[in-house]
A and B are shown apart, each in its own frame.
Chain A
Amino acid sequence: MKLFTALLARDLRLAIRHGSDSLAALLFFVLTAALFPLAIGPAPETLGRLAPGIVWVCAFLAALLPIDRLFGADFEDGSLDQLLLSGLPPAAIALAKAVSHWLVTGLPLLLVSAPLASMLRMPSTGLLALLLGLLPGTMVLSLLGMTGAAIVLGARRGAILLPILILPLATPVLIFGAAAPEAAMSGLSVRPHLLLELALLLASLSLSPLAAGAALRHAAD
């Protein structure tokens, strides 16, 4: 546990020193979302109906942006081998990376998405459901993204491959997550969607560190 927190603290310190990386993801999120009113017109009815979907898709793409560097630097300079020798199980290393990715990218995205949704004229009835869905949703995305990053470690065009591998697997998160604010805006219960989202989080929390740990071990030898 001490090793785990030490690794997490190291990753967070690195992320803060290279703060422009997570800032770039955030800017990408805001900019792509801001393209939609320009493309489909500023009419509040259309925009408000599309807003949850726009926020979700843009958050997805923005969260994937920095993910290929998650293990990349450690792999290239050999720290990954050191980490694997440190006595921490590979799955724990993978989990620490996912947690740090979420804290550095997922959490800021979550904070920005509320004002962004209002800018996209989303009715305030759906706002809480959007944020409650995004909270586990971005966590799942960090876990899946981390797994994908571990799998493509050492590949020639890893950065291009990564979205192709992760996006199909992440579709359930998007479906249930975007359905929650939709339900809230039409006066239905958001509970089933949020529970399914939590179920996805629990499933990926238990499985993806194991898969990523196996991939890390193979990448290192």
Chain B
Amino acid sequence: MDANTATAPTRRNLHRFANPGQFLRLSGAVLPWLSGLSLVLVAIGLAWGLFWSPADWQQGDAVRIMYVHVPAAWLASAGYLSLALCSVCSLVWRHPLADLAAAEIGPVGAGFTALCLATGSIWGRPMWGAWWVWDARLTSVLVLFFLYLGHIALVRAFDEPEAGYRAGSILALVGVINLPIIKFSVDWWNTLHQPASITLSGAPTMYVGMLWPLLICTLGYTFAFVAIVLTRTRAAVMERRIRALLLARAARG
């Protein structure tokens, strides 16, 4: 018996998930739960935020757009981070699933970034009196949006998909520099955009009745992001299989 096949089922490391068949089975089992949970959480969070949470003492009811804006902003950054992690896996281990996932995270992340920019703009109109200001936070998120778009365009610009994945992962890693700039832009520059209200160290500077719906929405958005990326990656795996089958049939004549 081959040593490779003997050790394969007992190996307890990440490479277990590199097997596309394993991935399809696992993601197929998780996906309905993930999507259902995300729908429920977003519904609860948005309903709580829109109807039962208090209005802000300064901003009034306009603050309620926060429950759409802040989770989208969080996922715009987290999505790019996951894109960069997939790129590391693809460059270091030549992980085929990481390639597919990176290519599929791009459009989803760009979508969330666009949602963040659009809702931010709608929020900015009543609060700052302008649809757009060239403030450090807004500018760095706009750059993030362009980085996503560049990645999407680059990955799909090669005749050989492999070459596109390699180029895309290097670009994604170069673009990671933008993430700390986004995070600290509100501290480094004197900006119009408010600094973070929720930090890992220290109590949130926000009323609990607003914090809960925000956290629920963020969790729901995160599940939705993962569910969409999983669905797209599954579709990409299947597309690849279908292409291989068609090629095999064509080769047989």
A residues in contact (CB < 8 Å) with B: 147, 151-158, 161, 164-165, 167-169, 171-172, 207-208, 211, 214-215, 218-219
Given the contacts A167-B146, A218-B163, A147 and B174 also touching, CB distance less than 8 Å: yes
B24 in contact (CB, < 8 A): no
Most chain A CB atoms below 10 A, which of B139, B150, B159, B163: B150
Which residues in chain B, 138-174, are within 8 Å of chain A measured between CB atoms?
A: 139, 143, 146-147, 149-150, 153-154, 157-160, 163-164, 166-167, 170-171, 173-174
Once the chains bind, are A155 and B146 in contact (CB under 8 Å)?
Answer: no
Once the chains bind, are B157 and A169 in contact (CB under 8 Å)?
Answer: no
Mask of B78-92 contacts with A, CB within 8 angstroms, 1/0:
000000000000010
List the B side residues contacting A152 at CB < 8 Å. Answer: 154, 157, 167
Closest to B147 in A: A168
Closest to B142 in A: A168
Which residues in chain B, 191-232, are within 8 Å of chain A measured between CB atoms?
A: none
Select one of B153, B166, B170, B175 contacting A164, CB under 8 A: B153
List the A side residues contacting B160 at CB < 8 Å. Answer: 154
Closest to A158 in B: B157
In the bound complex, CA of A42 to CA of B173 (Å): 44
How near does chain B come to A133, taking the closest CB pair, in angstroms? 19
B residues in contact (CB < 8 Å) with A: 91, 139, 143, 146-147, 149-150, 153-154, 157-160, 163-164, 166-167, 170-171, 173-175, 177-178, 181
Select one of A157, A158, A168, A215 contacting B150, CB under 8 A: A168
List the A side residues contacting B157 at CB < 8 Å. Answer: 152, 155-158, 161
Once the chains bind, are B150 and A165 in contact (CB under 8 Å)?
Answer: yes
Closest to A156 in B: B157
Select one of B153, B163, B175 contacting A169, CB under 8 A: B175
Most chain A CB atoms below 10 A, which of B146, B171, B181: B171
Most chain B CB atoms below 10 A, which of A157, A208, A214: A214
List the A side residues contacting B154 at CB < 8 Å. Answer: 151-152, 155, 161, 165
Once the chains bind, are A161 and B143 in contact (CB under 8 Å)?
Answer: no
* A–B complex contacts, Cβ < 8 Å, 21 sampled: A151-B167, A151-B170, A154-B163, A154-B167, A155-B154, A156-B159, A158-B157, A161-B150, A164-B150, A164-B153, A165-B154, A168-B147, A169-B143, A169-B175, A169-B177, A171-B143, A211-B170, A211-B174, A215-B167, A218-B163, A218-B170
In the bound complex, CA of A219 to CA of B166 (Å): 9
List the A side residues contacting B170 at CB < 8 Å. Answer: 151, 211, 214-215, 218
Most chain B CB atoms below 10 A, which of A154, A208, A211: A154
Given the contacts A155-B154, A161-B150, A169 and B167 also touching, CB distance less than 8 Å: no
Closest to B151 in A: A165
List the B side residues contacting A165 at CB < 8 Å. Answer: 150, 154, 171
In the bound complex, CA of A210 to CA of B163 (Å): 18
Select one of A164, A207, A218 contacting B167, CB under 8 A: A218
How near does chain B come to A72, taking the closest CB pair, in angstroms? 15
List the B side residues contacting A207 at CB < 8 Å. Answer: 174
List the B side residues contacting A171 at CB < 8 Å. Answer: 139, 143
List the B side residues contacting A215 at CB < 8 Å. Answer: 166-167, 170
Closest to B164 in A: A155
